[in-house]
Each structure stands twice: as structure tokens, then as C-alpha cells.
Amino acid sequence: MNILIKNFLLFISTIILLNSCVAVNVTTSSAKEKGIKEAISDGMIDAGINKEFLNHDINMFINIQIEVVEGRVLLTGSVKKPKHRLDAIKIAWKVLGVREVINEIDITEKGGIKQYLIDVKIKTQIRYKVLADKEVSSINYNFEVVNGNVYIIGIAENKKELKKLIAHINSIGGVLKVVSHAIMKNDPRRKKYQRKLQKK
């Protein structure tokens, strides 16, 4: 029994480590469409929201994932009550630099270790598929997977690239739904945000 537990913990650690390595790689090379200033600003927003979540409620910190791209905050994860979701949105808006909060938090009792492992597997497969496709700028996108649903945030070169990315994700077993919050490279909102940053 102890061997089984050890192997299980080793398996979990390996998956988490692999996921972390991918995340670090994406963060350090995210300057393709985002400048250094934007990357630093997003990192500070991410850290700020995480700190606020932790101070408010440990479960909020554990169960809600945060992705930030140019001040746009994507919240995903699962909570048990509508109030918990509302609290998370309000707290995220309090952090300096946030210019949009995208709410994709589920209110559900589903989840558990089995679903977590499925979601991590899907996320890892997405990264491998996208990295293998030279026609998709993988460093411009971040992903979260919750209960088989895939959420995308980032900056697309064009509609064709985004369509190809979504097709890759839909080809992965276990994916139930793909929701994109990516914006186009030439979106006017980006220029407005970049001008604001330059004034700082």
C-alpha cells in the first residue's frame, strides 16, 4: 500500500513539475507580442490577486486560477457557492492595473483528484500540440482547463491562427468545450493599453 501511495505522489509531482516548466517557459518568452513592461505589469497583477485571494480565503487561493494578459484577467476554477465567485471577481477588480475581469469560474461540486489529473493531462497535450505547430505562435497564448473545459486568453496573429489553435484543442480526448478570450494582434484595445503604459 505504501508503495502505491509513493508512486501516486511521484506521478502527481512529475505532472506538476512538467506543467510548471511549461508555464515558466511561456512566461520568460512572452515578450513576442507583449513588451517587457507589459510582462512585468501582468506579473505584478497576478501576484497581487493571488495575495488578495490568500488573505481572503485559502480555498479561493487554491481553487481559482488566474491568467493575466495586458491587464485582462481570466479567472477559472470551481467554487461551491455563487457568493464565492462574486467575491473573487470583486477582489480581482481591486488590484491596481486590472482593466478587465473575465469570469469563467464554475459553481459546481464536481472535481476531485481524478478530474484534476485529466485536466492537467489535457493542458500538457495542448502545449505539446501547439508547440509542434510552427504556424501557431504558442507563446502568445495561455490556457486553463477546468472539468474538461478549455479557456484561452492571449493575442492571436489573425483569425486563421486562432481557428487552427482551437482545432488542435478540440482534437484532444476529454475536451468538452473550448472558450476563447484571445484578441487579435491589431485590436484597438491593445494600442490604448500600450499608450497608457508608456505614460507611466
Task: Look at residue 113 in the predicted model and tell me its pLDDT.
Answer: 85
Task: Look at residue 62 in the predicted model and tell me its pLDDT.
Answer: 92
Task: Look at residue 127 in the predicted model and tell me its pLDDT.
Answer: 93
Task: Look at residue 111 in the predicted model and tell me its pLDDT.
Answer: 66
User: Which one-letter amino acid corresponds to residue 15?
Assistant: I
Task: Look at residue 188 in the predicted model and tell me its pLDDT.
Answer: 86
Cα separation, 107 vs 85, whole angstroms? 8
pLDDT in tens, 102-139: 999 999 876 678 888 999 999 999 999 999 999 999 89
Render 18-59 in DSSP notation, one character per residue.
HHHHHHHHHHHTTTTTS-HHHHHHHHHHHHHHHHHHHHH-HH
Q: What angle do CA 191, 196, 200 make, to 5 degrees?
A: 145
Of 177, 62, 174, 179, nearest in space to 118 by CA: 174
Task: Look at residue 91 in the predicted model and tell me its pLDDT.
Answer: 98
Q: What pTM did the predictor assign?
A: 0.78
Within the chain, which residues score under 70 in pLDDT? 1-39, 110-111, 195-200
